[in-house]
């Protein structure tokens, strides 16, 4: 149960002053539906309205607060023309501009001959100083109605900054006196204010003091990352407490597999398998993350791990986020399993009727050793005879809470290995996977060739098509990835279909099309045409980002590359360079207008390095954590004040603090422990507190 002291903060935002039935949805759009969501809304900046200079002394294009006499009203001469009010001080005239203004209201609020204080942006137009729609118009005796320092918030249509500021004042009035959850000596060294003082400093500062605002932000940033790290540590403690099964194989299946391979595993693969083997034999439940760069050989590590489970007489499951990726895993693992004498099967939403019934019956009887599938593995009718190892691929596409669902499928909790082909910066890995041990595949298998990467303006599209003709004439295959169009699926579809039609006219019968809106059977048929060589060019959306392995593909063309994130560009590039022939990645960018600074940086980094871990760190620096995995990706923590690139020192300190706290006060029973429980509830890490209570 959430502590009663926090109830006012979790009340609906509609309980705040100025938030009515019509505006509540708009508040939800910019922040959320509760008071606490509004308090987490960071201002974009601040306006200082304290200075009252003469009109002429306000720098043009800036916000000024001036005291004036109202001189005259000039009504519009024609419809849709602005209503103008001339005002002035001793030396200058200022023209107020109102579009669609209610004339009666303007006559009442700005009567001719009256003295008024105005605050708003002053511009010069055709030689005249103007202020369009002043932010504030008050009589001198009501000057206190103009905030001296005004935070500027993100807004949505129909919601004014005044309305948000009024609601925020109401939210600040509800801040309770909270016990201090930070270590006293640590907070003193940092010179940080209390939690409530820090929020007040952000939303109602007495000065626009960058140093003071940054001090308040870092205090709140530390609270965020501390809540996150403490929650992860509590979950980790709970998982470690839960009795794990000792799973030890005799190595026979693994030796058979390695003998059947035409290559030797890399040192990184061998090391990762050894770490997994030690976890499985330890008697504690494994919670391990396997991070691999594009093409680093995660699938082989996963198969060797699953063979340990099969050697021990148990079963293993591998879950992928898409059917394409699940089928790709099956295409790789199925023949190898058959060669070494064990059974693997695929279960997706497409397996139906007798086929599905047979898979489920064999699984329940223990006759099926490895099951590969999608979310279909979560359904109630999927029952294992004895599941001891659950592997989740591309974990961030599922979400942290689902990590545990599959592991409970075998009656007894299974060991969990999660894999990602998206190299994750160290700080983001700590934030998302702090409850897990990490294995890293940081070298490529033998035979993977470097990929030549070039950035080419779209104005040279004809040259690119000539190069494509040369490549397919030499027997190579080409991916052509079409752009994301402002996250609009309909426009994405138009882009990919028009590029397909244009290339099909030029290379008739040699082009296949694949995108997310196609029926699965049609998409598979297109992929198969490309895989078999019946089609030489595959025009696609990012549906091919993971799980497509065609060694004959040597050219990757990414259209409007400036619209993609670095990690995604790196993933797409990793679809080529898988065979013996040299490979090329062409990044086509819009050159009129030229891409912005961030997009230009991305293209430069892609040309300079193929190291996914370097690229991941750069991606975090350029875009911030909120976007690296997609702002609302399942499992991504909401960070309102922390920036994982700027605040990596705070994350490391919070991790140490959480570790030490759990070591000294595992039940959070001390006075500081009780305060930390409140922190967990404040940041909605309720699940971690439940683990604490359930022992």
The per-residue pLDDT for range 419-452, each reduced to its tens digit, is 987 777 766 777 666 667 889 888 877 767 789 9
330 and 381 assigned to the same domain: yes
Tokens of 48: 């200082």
- List beta partners, residue 186: none
Separation CA 396–CA 634 (nearest Å): 6
372 and 328 assigned to the same domain: yes
- Taking 50 as the pLDDT cut, the residues of the chain under it are 486-487, 625-636, 694-695
Q: Is 187 helix (H, G, I), strand (E, B) or coil?
A: helix
Burial 121-140 (b: 16+ CB within 10 A, else e): bbeeeeeebbbeebbbbbee
Which residue's entry shows tokens 């601040």?
Answer: 46
What pLDDT does 669 receive? Answer: 93
pLDDT tens-digit readout, 222-273: 999 999 889 888 877 777 666 678 999 999 999 999 999 988 899 999 999 9
Separation CA 685–CA 654 (nearest Å): 15
- The answer to whether residue 9 is domain-embedded is no
Name the residue among 693, 658, 687 with its Cα closest to residue 672.
658
Instruction: Give the ranges where 461-586 is alpha helix by DSSP (H).
Output: 461-473, 489-506, 520-532, 566-573
Q: Angle at the Cα of 280 (from 277 to 286), degrees rounded to 5?
A: 115
393 and 491 assigned to the same domain: no
- The answer to whether residue 384 is domain-embedded is yes
Q: 307, 255 in Cβ contact below 8 A?
A: no
What pLDDT does 124 receive? Answer: 93
Last residue of a domain, one of 146, 169, 185: 146
Side-chain-side CA neighbours of residue 205 (13 Å): 24
514 and 535 assigned to the same domain: yes
Tokens of 525: 């048929």
Residue 547 DSSP class: S
What pLDDT does 175 receive? Answer: 97
433 and 299 assigned to the same domain: yes
Separation CA 24–CA 405 (nearest Å): 36
Separation CA 185–CA 223 (nearest Å): 15
435 and 468 assigned to the same domain: no
CB neighbourhood size of 598 (10 A): 11
378 and 488 assigned to the same domain: no
Number of structural domains in the chain: 3
Separation CA 441–CA 443 (nearest Å): 6
- The answer to whether residue 184 is domain-embedded is no
Q: Distances from the Cα of 244 to the Cαs of 249, 306, 387, in angstroms?
A: 16, 16, 13
CATH of the domain at 388: 3.40.50.300
Separation CA 571–CA 294 (nearest Å): 6
- The answer to whether residue 510 is domain-embedded is yes
Name the residue among 576, 626, 284 with its Cα closest to residue 431.
626
Q: How many helices (H) and strands (E) would you count in the chain?
A: 24, 21
Q: 389, 247 in Cβ contact below 8 A?
A: yes
Last residue of a domain, one of 383, 417, 441: 441
Q: What share of the chain is helix, strand, coil (3-state, %, to 5)?
A: 45, 20, 35
Separation CA 434–CA 229 (nearest Å): 7
- Would you tell me the crossing angle of helices 461-473 and 489-506 to the nearest 10 degrees? 60
372 and 514 assigned to the same domain: no
- The answer to whether residue 548 is domain-embedded is yes
- Structural domain harbouring 316: 290-441
Q: 572, 561 in Cβ contact below 8 A?
A: no
Separation CA 33–CA 20 (nearest Å): 12
Judged on CB neighbours under 10 Å (0-12, 13-18, 19+), 50 is exposed
296 and 437 assigned to the same domain: yes
Separation CA 128–CA 139 (nearest Å): 24
CATH of the domain at 100: 2.40.50.140
489 and 386 assigned to the same domain: no
455 and 586 assigned to the same domain: yes
What pLDDT does 632 receive? Answer: 36
Q: Tell how strand 415-420 and strand 128-132 pair up.
A: unpaired
Name the residue among 392, 371, 367, 390 with its Cα closest to residue 382.
371
Q: Distances from the Cα of 652 to the Cαs of 289, 302, 422, 506, 655, in angstroms?
A: 19, 30, 22, 56, 5
Q: Which helix (H) or strand (E) holds 388?
A: strand 387-393
- List beta partners, residue 346: 372
464 and 573 assigned to the same domain: yes
Last residue of a domain, one of 548, 572, 590: 590
- The answer to whether residue 434 is domain-embedded is yes
- List beta partners, residue 132: 97
Name the residue among 521, 471, 480, 476 with its Cα closest to residue 504.
480
Tokens of 410: 């075998």
- The answer to whether residue 323 is domain-embedded is yes
- The answer to whether residue 58 is domain-embedded is yes
Separation CA 674–CA 32 (nearest Å): 27
Separation CA 618–CA 612 (nearest Å): 10
């Amino acid at each position: 149960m959430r502590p009663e002291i926090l109830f006012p903060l979790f009340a609906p935002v509609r309980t705040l002053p100025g938030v009515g039935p019509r505006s509540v949805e708009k508040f939800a759009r910019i922040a959320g539906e509760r008071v606490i969501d509004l308090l987490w809304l960071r201002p974009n900046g601040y306006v200082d309205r304290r200075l009252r200079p003469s009109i002429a002394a306000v720098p043009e294009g800036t916000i000024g607060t001036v005291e004036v006499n109202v001189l005259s009203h000039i009504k519009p001469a024609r419809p849709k023309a602005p209503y103008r009010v001339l005002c002035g001080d001793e030396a200058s005239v200022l023209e107020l501009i109102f579009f669609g203004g209610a004339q009666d209201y303007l006559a009442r609020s700005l009567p001719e001959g009256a003295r008024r204080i105005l605050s708003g942006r002053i511009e010069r137009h055709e030689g005249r100083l103007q202020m369009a729609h002043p932010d504030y118009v008050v009589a001198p005796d009501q000057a206190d109605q103009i905030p001296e320092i005004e935070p500027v918030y993100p807004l949505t249509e129909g919601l004014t900054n005044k309305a948000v500021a009024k609601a925020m004042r109401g939210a600040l009035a509800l801040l309770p006196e909270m016990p201090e959850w930070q270590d006293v000596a640590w907070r003193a060294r940092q010179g940080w204010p209390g939690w409530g003082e820090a929020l007040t400093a952000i939303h109602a500062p007495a000065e626009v003091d960058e140093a003071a605002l940054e001090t308040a932000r870092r205090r709140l940033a530390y609270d965020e990352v501390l809540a996150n790290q403490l929650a992860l540590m509590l979950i980790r403690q709970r998982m470690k407490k839960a009795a794990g099964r000792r799973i030890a194989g005799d190595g026979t299946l693994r030796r058979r597999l390695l003998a059947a391979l035409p290559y030797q595993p890399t040192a990184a693969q061998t090391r990762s398998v050894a770490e997994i083997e030690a976890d499985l034999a330890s008697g504690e439940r494994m919670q391990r993350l396997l991070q691999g760069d594009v093409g680093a050989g995660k699938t082989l590590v996963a198969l060797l791990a699953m063979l340990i489970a099969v050697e021990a007489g148990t079963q293993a499951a591998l879950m992928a986020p898409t059917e394409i990726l699940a089928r790709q895993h099956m295409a790789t693992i199925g023949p190898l399993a058959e060669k070494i004498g064990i059974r693997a099967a695929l279960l997706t939403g497409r397996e139906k009727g007798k086929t599905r019934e047979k898979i489920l019956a064999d699984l329940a009887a223990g006759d099926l050793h490895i099951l590969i599938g999608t979310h279909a593995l979560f359904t109630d009718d999927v029952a294992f005879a004895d599941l001891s190892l659950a592997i989740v691929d591309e974990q961030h596409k599922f979400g942290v809470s689902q990590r545990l669902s599959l592991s409970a499928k075998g009656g007894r909790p299974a060991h969990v290995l999660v894999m990602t082909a998206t190299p994750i910066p160290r700080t983001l890995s700590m934030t998302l996977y702090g409850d897990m041990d990490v294995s890293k595949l940081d070298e490529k298998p033998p035979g993977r060739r470097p990929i030549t990467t070039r950035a080419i303006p779209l104005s040279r599209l004809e040259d690119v098509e000539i190069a494509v003709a040369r490549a397919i004439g030499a027997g190579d295959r080409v991916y052509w990835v079409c752009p994301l169009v402002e996250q609009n699926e309909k426009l994405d579809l138009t882009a990919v279909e028009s590029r397909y039609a244009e290339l099909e006219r030029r290379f008739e019968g040699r082009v296949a099309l694949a995108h997310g809106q196609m029926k699965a059977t049609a998409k598979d048929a297109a992929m198969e045409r490309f895989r078999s060589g019946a089609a030489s060019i595959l025009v696609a959306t990012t549906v091919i980002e993971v799980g497509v392995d065609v060694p004959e593909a040597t050219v990757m063309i990414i259209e409007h590359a400036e619209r993609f994130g670095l990690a995604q560009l790196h993933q797409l590039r990793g679809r080529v360079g898988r065979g013996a022939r040299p490979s090329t990645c062409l990044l086509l960018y819009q050159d009129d207008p030229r891409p912005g600074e961030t997009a230009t940086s991305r293209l430069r980094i892609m040309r300079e390095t193929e190291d996914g871990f370097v690229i991941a760190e750069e991606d975090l620096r350029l875009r911030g954590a909120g976007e690296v995995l997609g702002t609302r990706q399942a499992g991504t923590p909401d960070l309102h004040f922390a920036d994982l690139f700027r605040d990596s020192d705070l994350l490391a300190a919070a991790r140490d603090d959480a570790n030490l706290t759990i070591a000294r006060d595992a039940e959070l029973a001390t006075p500081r422990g009780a305060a930390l429980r409140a922190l967990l509830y404040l940041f909605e890490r309720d699940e971690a507190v439940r683990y604490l209570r359930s022992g």
